[in-house]
Amino acid sequence: MPIKTVLVSVSALIPLVLGSLHLFYTYWGSKLLPRDPALVDAMKGATMVITRETTVWNAWIGFNATHSLSLILFGLVYGYLAVARPDVLFGSAFLQAVGFLALAAFVILSKTNFFSIPLMGMAVALALYSGGLVLGHS
């Protein structure tokens, strides 16, 4: 397997694993819960300005789940492309740019909104992906 394929597939594995863990923590366990139980109760009882059809709590769960699914989707699609269809990925400037921009956005969001583990994971994924692209153009 060419090194460019290895780099991009390992890069894709990182958001896949982090997204899967995040999805698991969204529905099971307490890692994504506020430390203050009263805040959970307040979120469950409050609606948002945009609509009364959901609570802040349900939106919180939905936002966490869709965030997880975006990471999982990135990992599955780019991992598949790197391993099963490298000709498509490495032959498409569009797909390469979308992957780069998605990972760069994950890095920025991790830096501005999250904590060190997602930031390190996404930074490593971006570095590996970038390395794979560079080798793919040599």
Each residue's pLDDT, cut to its tens digit, for the chain (138 residues) gives: 899 999 999 999 999 999 999 999 999 989 999 999 999 999 999 999 999 999 999 999 999 999 999 999 999 999 999 999 999 999 999 999 999 999 999 999 999 999 999 999 999 999 999 999 999 887
pLDDT score at 1: 87
Domain coverage including residue 85: 3-136
3-state per-residue secondary structure call for 3-62 = HHHHHHHHHHHHHHHHHHHHHHHHHCCCCCCCCCHHHHHHHHHCECCCCCCCEHHHHHHH
Total count of domains within the chain: 1
Closest to 25 in 3D by CA, of 76, 75, 60, 73: 60
What is the radius of gyration, based on Cα positions, of the chain?
A: 18
pTM here is 0.93
Q: What whole-number distance in Å separates Cα of residue 63 and Cα of residue 26?
A: 10
